[in-house]
Amino acid sequence: MEKGRAFLVGAGPGDVQLITVKGLEAIKKAQVILYDRLANPKLLDYAPSDCELIYCGKLPDRHVLRQEMINNLLVSKVLEGKIVVRLKGGDPGVFGRVGEEAAALAENGLSFEIVPGITSGIAAPLYAGIPVTHREFGESFAVVTAHDKSENGQPKLDWKGLATGIDTIAFYMGISNLPYISENLIKHGKPADTPVILIQWGTFSRQQTLEGTLSNIAAKAKEVNFTNPAITLVGDIISLRKKLNWFEKKPLFGKQILLARTGTDESELARELMNQGADVIEFPKWKKVTVPVDQAVVNRISVYEQILFTSPESVREFFEIIFTEGIDIRKVKADFYGCSTKSVKALNEKGFFAELDGKMPLAGQLLIVGDSDFSQDYPHAEMFITSRKVIDEQFTPIFKRVLEEASVNTIVLPSSRAVKTIVEEGILKEIIPQQILKTSKVVCMGVRTAEAAIEYGVSPNEVLEVPNKTAVIDCLARKESELAFV
């Protein structure tokens, strides 16, 4: 049996782009991933389609898997000869219990690597506009756990040293112990008017902050029911936030978007929405299943007058098959069309002029490449199925957990196929709460998408004449600025 290996990987604080290159490489080759609640589940999209995903998340009131069980599971999977990634929020060495997991592997003579990550005690303040050190405000910085293993969970710390010897202090998961923390810092010499900021879900678009002082922050947090996960930052350096607050000024900050997904490739739209400050939940997660090449279609490829591609993936697969079969592309006489702007762009990148299917003539011999579902719209067409897409059911419980913790306020529907998918696979199967349709702004990319939405009982709030990512971003950013003046 091939020797297994474990990678104990820091997933970073939440923003999916803050994963390290080495951490992402480990995810891409993993056969098993044991992941925590605070590791952004979008990172699992990069795992191989046959990777086993195991949730080890912990909530304040319950444990899905206790630490001893996680250690044992980690060891057993490596003993099976698997490449195992233990994906932990933030940095695994900062209150991540990586020492216990690494010890379990070492005691069993198993090979492992520890991959550092960006810890939330540094990243969350930076995303709130606060560096944790500064020559004028703070030359010393401490990370401190706000809980310990005692019965009451109140850590026994060197309060005198923290209060008088450290300029800036980051307490991890300290909301429930705020009165205890504030009282002890004041008691041991920290001025009562020392600034404090609470940062919840740091680096996500749903990031929330609450500012106060040691004397009043506990009361303020109680009044608004502020909860973990959060960093409590204490120190005069917090005053820099007024000048340096950059993340919360992004055009789409605060937007929590549910984006209907119809392909297996990474979504350029999702990436750009995140770059503009939004949180994006893509539904569903698809995986490809290969199918045998239809030789009858390949042999007749020169007779078709129009070829309609259902997805960017189908474009790539079509040309791969044509090349593998030894067919000169010049034998293909058909005009090319795409079911989406992404499909048209994929054809353009291959050097072909193409248009959307709305401009395709109904007469002539038509070949549809890709998804067999489209044959219902074109009964006279022949099908060339290059691969089959199936929903990856491993992600169903992940979506449910993400939707429970998020507060979706925007739904983006890129195509009529996306409407069908989100309703039939999400709403009707009770993976997506129906209430989201009533409480969210629904943006349809194009008239045909809007028509499909209405047929399914979904009322669009916005219909984009130009169905591209620039129009989506402009629409969402514009509406947010208008609301600011209401």
Q: How many angstroms separate the CA atoms of 9 and 25, rounded? A: 10
Count of beta carbons in the 10 Å neighbourhood of residue 131: 15
Q: How many angstroms separate the CA atoms of 142 and 165, rounded? A: 10
Q: How many angstroms separate the CA atoms of 130 and 197, rounded? A: 10
* 14 Ramachandran zone, left/alpha/beta (phi>0; psi -120 to 50): left
H/E element holding 196?
A: strand 195-200
Q: How many angstroms separate the CA atoms of 82 and 90, rounded? A: 24
β pairing state of 141-145 and 168-172: parallel
Closest residue by Cα to residue 47 from 9, 18, 74: 9
The type of residue at 327 is I
Q: Which tokens in the block code for residue 409?
A: 């306020």
* 12 Ramachandran zone, left/alpha/beta (phi>0; psi -120 to 50): left
β pairing state of 58-59 and 279-283: unpaired
Number of H helices, E strands in the chain: 17, 24
Q: Which tokens in the block code for residue 246?
A: 């950059």
Contact of 413 with 445, CB cutoff 8 Å: yes
Contact of 274 with 17, CB cutoff 8 Å: yes
Q: How many angstroms separate the CA atoms of 45 and 295, rounded? A: 33
- The residues annotated as belonging to the active site are 36, 58, 173
